[in-house]
Amino acid sequence: MKRLPLTAALVLAALAPLAHADNPFTWIEAEPKSELWVDSGFATWHFDRDKDLNGNNYGLGAEYRFSGTMAATAGRFYNSDRQWSNYAGVIWQPWALGPVRVGAALAAFDGYPHMRDGGWFPAAIPTLTYDYKRVGINVGIIPSYKDRLYGGISVQLKIKLF
């Protein structure tokens, strides 16, 4: 987990030259696509470092990109509170910053004991995605919510099946 801030810093450093462009963001076309990805769980670096949170959020998921800007996603992972969580939703990414898609995962989650007693709840998570041929990475910036959800930066690896 100690490498996650370094990885994030390297990604930001690689994208830094784009920040000096007149308009670093470009609009992504919503043309139809058909890509199926298998997603890992998450490696999470939590903002609350003093809590004994689980950052090894192993699990398995799937992502179906049906347009240039949207993908359906679902999966299961072992969360920061050491409970099993399920998720289902869409990843909406209408912008690009160089090769990185920018947007949000709009999804429902369960399994967090301090949030709705472990029941389902909606969430909007800012999400960055970088794909290279048959491999990719999703980075989620998870906001903290009171004493119910603990924020952090989560990295998810993925492999394209077709």
Predicted model pTM: 0.84
Residue 64 structural domain = 3-15+36-160
Give tens-digit pLDDT for 71-111: 999 999 999 999 999 999 999 999 999 999 999 999 999 99
Task: Check residue 148 and give its pLDDT.
Answer: 87
Rounded distance between C-alpha atoms, residue 78 and residue 127, angstroms: 20
Q: How far is CA 56 from CA 53, 79, 139, 154, in A?
A: 9, 8, 15, 10
Task: Check residue 74 and give its pLDDT.
Answer: 98
Residues 67, 31: contact at Cβ < 8 Å? yes
Query: Per the domain annotation, does 23 fall within a domain?
Result: no
Total domains in the fold of the chain: 1
Task: Check residue 121 and give its pLDDT.
Answer: 97
Query: Per the domain annotation, does 141 fall within a domain?
Result: yes
Query: Per the domain annotation, does 31 fall within a domain?
Result: no
Query: Per the domain annotation, does 129 fall within a domain?
Result: yes
Query: Per the domain annotation, does 10 fall within a domain?
Result: yes
Those residues with Cβ within 8 angstroms of residue 73's Cβ, 6 or more apart along the chain or in another chain = 39, 61, 62, 63, 64, 87, 88, 89, 90, 91, 105, 107
Regions of the chain with pLDDT less than 50: 1
148: CATH: 2.40.160
Query: Per the domain annotation, does 25 fall within a domain?
Result: no
Q: Which two tokens stand for residue 41?
A: 């769980």
Query: Per the domain annotation, does 120 fall within a domain?
Result: yes
